[in-house]
Amino acid sequence: MENKSWTVTYRNRDNGQRITCTVFAQDRQKAQERAGADEQIGGCEVWEVESVEPHEETLARILVSEFAEKQQGGHFACPRCGKMTMDAEIVTRNALSRRATVYICDSCGMAEAMEDMANSRTPLTAWSIVAAPGNWRMEEGGNECEA
Ligand SMILES: [Zn+2]
């Protein structure tokens, strides 16, 4: 089985500071173990593993946060469901996502609240904007290399 790349977020118990690094492992559990073994970063033991997520999720998060800045200056489809269901006049009238600092349409906001209650979150990699970033004019310098 091939190794996947995972983003590990460490949190400093003393001051709440966070750092991230990448580990390679076959699955989340192995990634977690490896991250735990590296916990003495910089020779101190105050770092704890806060989260381990697939690298694709990290890339999706970066894309969404880049879009969040753009979103303030234009009228876009909802980045989560891809429908033109956003309040066009004032973007902050829409729902603020619980997954990222970005506005989504009301029904997506509701869907996320339901997910939280059911404790089954949709990853950012399932968002429409991640599947088709061009529709949100997010293609410049794209990450797909067709060599
Ligand atoms: Zn939506």
Block mean pLDDT (10 aa), the chain, length 147: 88 90 92 80 74 94 95 92 90 92 96 95 95 87 45
Do 46 and 63 reside in the same domain of the chain? Answer: no
Q: Do residue 64 and residue 109 come from a single domain?
A: yes
- Ligand 1 centroid distance, CA of 127 (Å): 9
CA of 6 to the centre of ligand 1 (A): 28
Residue 99 C-alpha to ligand 1 middle, in angstroms? Answer: 13
- Please check whether residue 56 is in contact with residue 35, taking contact to mean a CB–CB distance below 8 angstroms: no
Domain shared by 21 and 68, yes or no? no
Other Cβ atoms less than 10 A from the Cβ of 139: the count is 12
* Whether 50 and 107 share a structural domain: no
Q: Which residues 6+ apart lie within 8 Å of 64 measured at CB?
A: 79, 100, 102, 124, 127, 129, 130
DSSP 8-state code for residue 84: S
Q: How far is CA 91 from the centre of its chain?
A: 20
Q: Over the range 20-50, which residues count as b (16 or more CB within 10 Å of their CB) and which as e?
A: eeebebeeeebbbebbeeeeeeeeeeebebe
CA of 66 to the centre of ligand 1 (A): 18
Instruction: State which residues form the domain around 44.
Output: 4-54
- Distance from the alpha carbon of residue 144 to the mean position of ligand 1, in angstroms: 25
pLDDT (0 to 100) of residue 146: 43
Same domain, 65 and 119: yes
Q: Are residues 46 and 60 in the same domain?
A: no
Count the domains in the chain: 2
The per-residue pLDDT for 1 is 66
Quote the ligand 1 centre to 90 CA distance (angstroms): 16
Q: How far is the CA of 95 from the centre of ligand 1 (A)?
A: 9
Q: How far apart are CA 2 and CA 103, in angstroms?
A: 36
Cα(122) to centroid(ligand 1), Å: 13
Separation of CA 81 and ligand 1 centre (Å): 4
pLDDT at 94: 94
